[in-house]
A = this chain, B = another copy of it.
Amino acid sequence: MRVLASDFRLPAVLVEKAVAVALVEDLSEAGDITTVATVTPDATASGVIAARMPGVVAGLQAAEAAFRALDANVSFEVFIPDGGNVEAYQKIALVAGNARALLTAERVALNFLGHMSGIATLTRSYVDKTSGTRARITDTRKTTPGLRAFEKLAVRSGGGLNHRFGLFDAILIKDNHIIAAGSIGAALDKAREKTGHMVKVEIEIATLEELREALAHKPDAVLLDNMPLAMLKEAVAEVAGCVVTEASGGVNLDTVRAIAETGVDLISVGALTHSAAVLDIGLDFK
C-alpha cells in the first residue's frame, strides 16, 4: 500500500468518515446487487483513472480511501497529485485490486474526484486570470453542506487561499451585526473585547465613509462589498496597506482581472464552491 504524501490531505478520520457515509449512501443494506450477481468474489481487476478534459486534480485522498474501504489491500499509484494539471485523457492514477471492490467503489471515488477537481479547476482559472497582480483568490462559506473541508482543500489545490472555515474561527462582521451592535465602531469594539488574541476580525464595508469609521477601530481586514472599480481603488488607497483588503460581489471570470488591478489583497468568489461544474474523470478497466 502506498500512502500519498502531500500537503493536500485532510485528517484521515475525517476522510474515512465522509467516504463511509458516501459508500453507505450508495450501498445501503443490500449492497451492490449488480456486481454480486455478475462478478465472482475472488476476481481481480485494475483500471486507469483519467480525465476526459483538461483541468486540475483534487480529491485523490478520498478516492483512494473509497477503494481501500472495500479492499484494504488495493494498490493505488498516483501519476498526477492533487494540485497538478491534467491534460484530456492523461492518466491520473492506477488502481488495482479485488474486482468487486473496484466496481462497487468506482462511483463514490469518482464523485469525490470529479467534484473536487471541478472546484480546483475553476479556482485555477481565477488564479490564472489574476496572475501578476497582488490579489489572491479566496473562497467563502457558500459550500455544499457536509463537504466544506473537501471543497476548501480543492480550492487550495487550485491555488486559492482559504477564507475562514466557519463561524467559529474568525470574526466577519456584516451589516446585520452592525445594526444590532449600533454602529461599525461598536461592533468592532465588542468583537475585540469578547474574543481571544488568536482571532482575526474582518468587517464588511459598502462605502468610503464606512471604511473610515472601520479603520479607526482597527480591524484586521475589510471586506469591500460590491464596490464599483473606482471606489475600490480609492478604498485600497485609503487603507494604504494597514489592513488586509478583500473584494467581493460581482466577481466572475470576465471581471476578476479588473478587480485585481485595483490593488486589493484578496478577491472572494462564492462560485468556486457553489457553482463549479464537475471535471469529467472516468475509470477505465484494463
Q: How far is the CA of A181 from the CA of B146 in the complex (A)?
A: 33
A114 at the interface (CB under 8 A from B): yes
Question: Are B176 and A103 in touch, CB under 8 angstroms?
Answer: yes
- Whether the Cβ atoms of A38 and B173 lie closer than 8 Å is yes
**Closest Cβ of chain B: how far from A62's Cβ, in Å?**
8
CB-contact partner of A29 in B149, B220, B270, under 8 A: B149
Q: Is A258 an interface residue (CB 8 A)?
A: no
Q: How large is the interface on A (under 10, 10 to 19, 20 to 34, 35 or more residues)?
A: 35 or more
Contact stretch, chosen from A17-25, A205-213, A232-240: A17-25
A255 near B: Cβ within 8 Å? no
Q: Which residue of B70, B152, B196, B271 is within 8 Å of A12 (Cβ)?
A: B70
Q: Which residues of B contact A198 (CB under 8 A)?
A: 163-164, 169-170, 172, 200, 202, 220-221
Q: Determine if A36 and B194 form an interchain contact, defined as CB atoms under 8 angstroms apart.
A: yes
Known: A11-B23, A138-B197. 17 other contacts (CB 8 A): A7-B194, A9-B31, A9-B41, A11-B31, A13-B23, A29-B165, A38-B190, A45-B176, A111-B142, A114-B142, A142-B278, A146-B146, A161-B197, A198-B202, A198-B221, A271-B277, A275-B278
A29 touches B20 (CB 8 A): no
| A141 CB contacts on chain B under 8 angstroms | 26, 107, 111
Interface string of A202-246 (1 = CB under 8 A from B): 100000000000000000110000000000000000000000101
By the criterion CB–CB under 8 Å, are B41 and A167 in contact?
no
Asked whether A145 is an interface residue with its Cβ less than 8 Å from the other chain, the reply is yes
